[in-house]
Structure 1
Amino acid sequence: MPAPLAEILDDFEAVSGQDKLQLLLEMSRELPALPAEMEQQAMEPVPECQSPLFLSVDASDPGAVRLFFSAPPEAPTTRGFASILHQGLDGQPADAILAVPDDFYVRLGLADVVSPLRLRGISAMLTRVKRRIRESR
């Protein structure tokens, strides 16, 4: 597990109940804007998410994969999930990202405060990131 992602998981494990949801909402505000030259239309949609989410993976340097996410401000849960992946995996080596367990998000402990349908969104995001990395090899 990449160290930044492990640290995020530790943060979520350190709080309980509604504090987990508050932490997710705080993370949603930390999702960086797309670079000016990147257009959302060129990004891959993730229809499993409850709100519109688009992602792009630049794995041209397998030693430092770049991740980009776009989600509207009125979708804080989706933005929070994207921010977790961005903060935890952006700039990490491809092999480290591919080694992240597909169900890592269970450790976030959000099952009691977020619907299973919403949790499916973070799983779908990670699946697409991994697929794009594999396709770039």
Structure 2
Amino acid sequence: MSIPAPLAEIVDDFAAVEGQDKLQLLLEFSRELPPLPAELEEAAMEPVPECQSPLFLSVDASDRSRVKLHFSAPAEAPTTRGFASILHQGLDGLSAQEILDVPDDFYASLGLAEAVSPLRLRGMSAMLTRIKRHLRA
């Protein structure tokens, strides 16, 4: 199990800040979540009910050497959007195997346990679990 370079860079960014600055960084990530492509509708995406706010994801592994990830979360759910953006920036475009090799608990290394509730962290874990499930199918 290993953390690919784009995701490791994000982990390093979080390690470089303390306390409430971690929340501020998470909010910055929430603003960077890209919009859905025009051809993809939320209704066609998989809901992630473990998230406290509505979150939908799409995994396009038709080219297993370059997996495409898409997430949809409302603007009024910045924590959920932040987690989705971290996964998007850290994993989108990687190979299926690189994503499958990411440790299931990598998010613990972000150091957010003191800043957000365990329920919210479970939502991020659920997103990664669902992505991996799609890749194994």
Give the TM-score band, short-chain normalised.
over 0.9
Give the one of 29, 32, 35 matched to 1:33. Answer: 35
Matches within 5 A, 1:53-132: 53-132=55-134
Give unmatched runs, 5+ long, in structure 1: none
Q: Give the distance between the partners of 1:2 and 1:60, measured in 2 at CA.
A: 20
Alignment of 1:10 with 2:15, yes or no, is no
Q: What secondary structure does 2:71 align onto?
A: strand
Q: What secondary structure does 1:31 align onto?
A: coil
Q: Give the distance between the partners of 2:8 and 2:41, measured in 1 at CA.
A: 30
Q: Which amino acid aligns with 2:33?
A: L
RMSD over aligned CA atoms reads 0.4
Q: Give the distance between the partners of 1:113 and 1:5, measured in 2 at CA.
A: 20
Q: What secondary structure does 1:67 align onto?
A: strand
Q: What secondary structure does 1:10 align onto?
A: helix
Q: Give the distance between the partners of 1:61 and 1:122, measured in 2 at CA.
A: 24
How many residues were matched structurally? 135
Q: Give the distance between the partners of 1:59 and 1:6, measured in 2 at CA.
A: 22
Q: What secondary structure does 1:55 align onto?
A: strand
Q: Which amino acid aligns with 2:63?
A: D
TM-score computed with the length of structure 2 as normaliser: 0.98
Report the equivalent of 2:135. Answer: 133
CA shift for structure 1 position 2: 1.1
CA shift for structure 1 position 77: 0.1
Deviations 1:82-128 (A, max 9, x none): 00000000000110000000000000000001000000000000000
Q: Give the distance between the partners of 2:122 and 2:53, measured in 1 at CA.
A: 12
Q: Give the distance between the partners of 2:108 and 2:76, measured in 1 at CA.
A: 24
TM-score computed with the length of structure 1 as normaliser: 0.98
